[in-house]
Amino acid sequence: MNRDGLKAYPALLMQTATYWQAPWLLQAMAQQGRSHYNEGCLIEDAHIMRPVGDSLLLAVADGMSSAARGGEGAVSAGVVVGHALTGIAHPDAADLKNAVGAAHAALIATSPDAPHALATTLAAVLISDKAVHAISIGDSNIVSITEDGAGALKLAPFCVGNQPSQDGTVSLTDPQWERHAGSVTSHPDLLTGLILATDGAQPFFYKDMGLSGRSALDATVVQGLPAAISKLTARSLSAYFSLLMTRPEYMSLDDRTLLMAFKPSEKESPPKPKTKVMAHA
């Protein structure tokens, strides 16, 4: 897909969507950054959220501003990972890594003489009843949500890519991407949720995103989830995130994309669907 092809679609300004696949309440949020909005540029983030075999695939990609076609690279990376996992009944960590490798190869094949033109980060997770597999290349984050002994929600880094320097971030187009990739396998029973976010969305769960860099993780947003779900019901969770996107403390000049898988309490969980597949546009 080329840049002109992307322009054939309506320009994305903001998108929020909430889905349910027991026991996970799934939230997707994407918004064009103020800088790109003012310049008339397309959003350069991309994401994918879909079932593959017995698992859920969640992935975010952040096309690099220094790349001429970073947005295209981000879209292509997510599409190829999804295609590569299609048809695998029980995808595992090796399958996820192979899918990311297929995305790397596709980007190089698209622009063999100038692969950096398609430079993008990529963070992806596979969630099944038996395991959670994660991989991250670049500065897009994967953060875990767990409960402490008192039942309060807390955040912790879950899967972080290896950054060789603070002067820039690793791209999926890097020939040494495997060397710099972070990977983790865990069990879903150990997690209350997961957040995947491009760097523009990190103000939602870091206290300080100023010149001093990231400071401690801040669980304020996720600690508000149970009350928001109880008040709005799970079907209106997007309203909670839409409100947060207007608050000054969470603003960002950069494009921002956040995906979340969260286990609500049994009381607040949506009713079981009467059909296995819910059609939506």
Amino acid at 188: P
Q: Helix, strand, or coil here: 20?
A: strand
The pLDDT of residue 8 is 55
Could you report the per-residue pLDDT of 133-152, keeping only the tens digit for each? 999 999 998 999 999 988 89
pTM: 0.91
Distances (CA, A) of 279 to 19, 44, 192, 210: 12, 28, 27, 42
Number of neighbours of residue 3 by Cβ within 10 angstroms: 13
Q: Helix, strand, or coil here: 4?
A: helix
Q: Helix, strand, or coil here: 266?
A: coil
Could you report the per-residue pLDDT of 168-215, keeping only the tens digit for each? 789 999 999 999 999 999 999 999 999 999 999 988 998 765 544 556
Residue ranges of the chain whose pLDDT lies below 50: 1-7, 211-212, 280-281
Measured distance CA(151)–CA(149) in Å, rounded: 6
Amino acid at 239: A
Q: In 3D, which of 50, 220, 66, 43 has the Cα closest to residue 138?
A: 66
